[in-house]
A and B are shown apart, each in its own frame.
Chain A
Amino acid sequence: GAGVSQSPSNKVTEKGKDVELRCDPISGHTALYWYRQSLGQGLEFLIYFQGNSAPDKSGLPSDRFSAERTGGSVSTLTIQRTQQEDSAVYLCASKRERGGDGELFFGEGSRLTVL
């Protein structure tokens, strides 16, 4: 498709379970971002991939969170042993340019609810 695609759009899980969230960026975009947005809050930076460089993981809140990007394209965000405070919308974005400038194109997000 033409935009950033995320799946699933909604995920309900039980506390303690692992979840995987997927992001398909726009073709040709070199940078990929994951953000978390709690209800009524701003976007919290999680992780940033740029080409073949080591990802910036400085925003991951704990070692239960991890992300990978295979082949410079699709990315998966994994949350292990989910907790109720992990409930949020997880947004993925991609960008064509390297470095700081340029527009991020966001997906619609994956809404995670941990019971």
Chain B
Amino acid sequence: GESVGLHLPTLSVQEGDNSIINCAYSNSASDYFIWYKQESGKGPQFIIDIRSNMDKRQGQRVTVLLNKTVKHLSLQIAATQPGDSAVYFCAETPSGNTGKLIFGQGTTLQVKP
């Protein structure tokens, strides 16, 4: 079946370093992707999105890269801060623009002071 998954369950980085969180997706027809951040005990929060007609999009301290050839999505966080510690999920909208959003399993980002 369709799935969105992440390469690494846990990523530990030093404060100030850049973080890269990876995601593989299986549906080559998906046309919209989102990254969410979830802090302990809270609901997920939107970070950044990207449509399939783009390969890169930048936000404040975050960049999302999309490689449709290998069905790979990554989230780059510059100058990682302790407040970035959370679980990060990628999600995709399957083809047909139905609005249904499928989430991956998540990567835990731990920022060491």
Contacts and interface: CB of A to CB of B under 8 A. Distances in A.
B68 interface: no
A100 B31 contact: yes
Contact of B101 (A4, A104, A107): A104
A93 B102 contact: no
Interface string B39-72: 0011111100101000000000000000000000
Contacts of A105: 46
B89 interface: yes
B75 to A, nearest CB: 15
B101 A106 contact: no
Contact of B98 (A42, A56, A95, A107): A56
Contacts of A98: 99
Nearest to A103: B46
A100 B93 contact: yes
A83 B51 CA distance: 39
A91 B101 CA distance: 13
Ranked 9 nearest A-B pairs via Cβ: A106-B43, A100-B93, A43-B103, A42-B105, A103-B46, A100-B97, A99-B97, A100-B32, A42-B103
Interface of A: 4, 31, 33, 35, 41-45, 48, 50, 56, 58, 91, 93, 95, 98-101, 103-109
Interface of B: 31-32, 34, 36, 41-46, 49, 51, 89, 91, 93, 97-106
